[in-house]
Chains A and B, each alone.
Chain A
């Protein structure tokens, strides 16, 4: 792209920010392939984090789920499962990596702010300012059955508690003045008198009184991520988050519409448009030619959507148990049933099944697809397929038009699934001047080009 071409786009100097999402749930992670490694061995996490760091990624991202998913009347067996506590795993990675950000998904409903803020601050100090927190909320009583707190929160209250929780966490992180610790052992006391404060935070959902035990890190506070896609979730992000993690990163127009919506909400919240990074989750399949990439993508989809997985996805869409059907046969003839979302399978993929089922029927009939083929073609998916050069062109356009600030990439294979992206795609992006060629900062906040914490 020449300088003149760049002047035609709103953000000619945009640089993409990449994160890697070691997901540990969902059918996106292929476990049937011989190259698929352990989902819990620390070597898998280290391999992915170091590959991402070699590729100059901003962040390594871990999810969280506080109860094993269920389907068909018991624990869901078809997908990878069994994850480490994220802050514990990331604290280990802090010792074994040097630059990459370390983002923990942690729940505000089933944690307490004094404790969680302290754990995140500890990770932030141990990593010299590389910690992030993806703030998630839960309201369902089913998850609450694992906690002494229990399922006590109404749906409407979950963001209210999250707001109070986050305010309390920030107060904890700001509890020590800069230079709160004595310069030398000859000082009168270890902490400078008056420099270590107390936090008293009292609201409808949070009521704590504590003396924070940690100073601010090199980046001030952990970077706040937010992933809710509802209007409430987007508003929460617009008011409080540094990064929004969305599902709008496959189609350019959809991504741009999401980004514009978020920017509108940012303005309404009185924040600058560039105060928030937009990083949709995505999967990237790379081939040397378009044809090879398509073939590889087809293989990936077939490994991900086994016949049993296809029946599971269809069962959740239809709201009825279809596990005894033939995935290679036609679509079910029954009408979908609207079922209450129990939360036992993560966030629901579609709210209203009727139009989706109607579209599936029409497309399946037109193309002669089986149920499994229909799920592969039209089911929940996210991702980009192409050659390194083709993808680099495409992503440069996304970035320069302000549709995204980058991507949070879910590898379809652990632990090697990031290799192609780092070895083949990153150089093409660098050549187009849309990706960094070296880390220029040391903290996650600096990687993301976020303003410093006040």
Chain B
């Protein structure tokens, strides 16, 4: 019934929601772009006026900028590697029949429901604290020196915390994909002489590519904006060891009160995120076809 008339009617009917979504997106974006060209520092209310591209210039030439980009890449990449590999292994495990399967599945999903600030605090104080943390106690119990995770391996520790939060998501999506794997295919491969490992490489992994793509795409979007875990645990430190682009922007606006500079940083982050998105879509998006 896609006549000229009904198509017109459909457009008129969806117009309000499309318009609302457009305004929803465009207003904050335009405001940010506007601020990024202003001299706007809350500590110096007397200094006002157009800044031109100065905010961008200072943000991009700041020596911590390249470091922040690198930190972002390490954080996102590290968490992706851990969650995809760990997610596949966990999904394979959970897909096997065992007693108490239902309860275990719910428990595996549980970390996803814990708020990022809360889970970061729990990890920081209950597990990784070099004096009172569980890991410190375990180390002392077996006669080892307690390790100061957040002091000596800050990025790895944050990757660990964020991976713990996102592993359930990856596991859940990959488990659903695993369950749709055709059992007759597996049996056919078994008769064709494929062992467990060959079946995993030639059947299971290709079957999972689409789910893995979804996991990587969605997680990349959310991981680029990680803020709470860094703020709660290391505050971007020690030094600038865990300052990502997102955290750099937050530092500029919250600690330096430089709204103009932070806005410029935000726009830079948006542009970088879009470049990453295009790149990722090009690279693995073709798996979503067919």
Are A and B interaction partners? Answer: no
